[in-house]
Amino acid sequence: MREAVKGEIVGGVLAPHPPHIVYGENHWRNEPKSECGWEVLRWGYERARKDFLAKKPDVILVHSPHWQTVIGHHFLGLPEFHGLSVDPIFPNLFRFQYDVKVDVELAELIAEEGRRSGLITKMMRNPNFRVDYGTIVSCHMMNPEWDIPIVGISSNNSPYYFSNEMGQAQMVELGQVTKRAIEKSGKRAILLASNTLSHRHFTTEPEIPEDMSREHVYEHSGYLWDMQVIDLMRKGRTKELIAILPEFMDHAVSEVKAGSLAWMLSALDFPDYAAEVYGYWTVIGTGNAVVGWQPPSLGGSDRVPTD
Ligand SMILES: [Fe+2]
């Protein structure tokens, strides 16, 4: 009898989701048109895309801060969702026609594995459910062809209701559950953590949103935090990184509070190999980095920068 093929995570990407970068791309799916904008991030995504799509993944998993669920962890649970996604803050930049294909089989496997380890999980089966812009932007920037099915995962609200530490512990468990389910599925998976880093931002917009003469870090302290966490990523020190994330959440209002990064690092078993930074830049003052983890056994570099 042939042994079943064990699935594996072939890479993970910190894949932030400001709608501005899709606006800057001028893709036909997005109605508002720009002249340009936020190139460092868009070109960073372009390079990450080349590296990660070359791994021929069967599925892309995304954990999004903008699908918040109060009770438990929810998963897109129908083979297809389509509609118009409008960003609630930036309807002038993001009105996106989406047509999302879902790997329901893997989503159900993760939900089941989660229940077994004590997490509350639920499948989203409402055909009129509006997929959030975090899921859409991260997936679109990594695979604008949308020809690979996704697994969409909500962010449970426990860090907001209880504490940063409690929320992060949930995400670490969810990451382990996700890894086990992928192994059982026999599939090759890429994970996307749809998180911005420092998150204080401007509250007014220039007349031309893509006027890059107005784009810069909001505050030096947030920038220093971003550099510190990126440094730990580049040096493969993700266990230290996970230990300081709760502090990062408080001091820089970081969006990692929603748990996407902790989920992904846990699923990758807290890599000690170097992450590659594809790009860092601000969007309305918030810190955004496109960062990739490729296991050395699957072609990634095993060199770690030293001080
Ligand atoms: Fe966000």
pLDDT in tens, 229-247: 999 999 999 999 999 999 9
Give residue 299's pLDDT: 78
Q: At 110, list the tokens.
A: 């993760």
What is the whole-number distance in angstroms between the Cα of residue 2 and the centre of ligand 1?
45
Give residue 252's pLDDT: 92
Give residue 286's pLDDT: 97
Asked if 69 contacts 156 with a C-beta cutoff of 8 angstroms, the reply is: yes
What is the whole-number distance in angstroms between the Cα of residue 221 and the centre of ligand 1?
20
| pTM of the shown model | 0.96
Asked if 13 contacts 50 with a C-beta cutoff of 8 angstroms, the reply is: no
What is the whole-number distance in angstroms between the Cα of residue 18 and the centre of ligand 1?
6
Give residue 268's pLDDT: 98
Q: At 128, list the tokens.
A: 């009129």
> Residue 145, CB half-sphere, CA atoms under 13 Å: how many?
7
Give residue 304's pLDDT: 72
Given a cut of 70, the residues of the chain with pLDDT beneath it are 1-3, 302-303, 306-307
Give residue 51's pLDDT: 97
Give residue 4's pLDDT: 78
What is the whole-number distance in angstroms between the Cα of residue 262 and the centre of ligand 1?
16
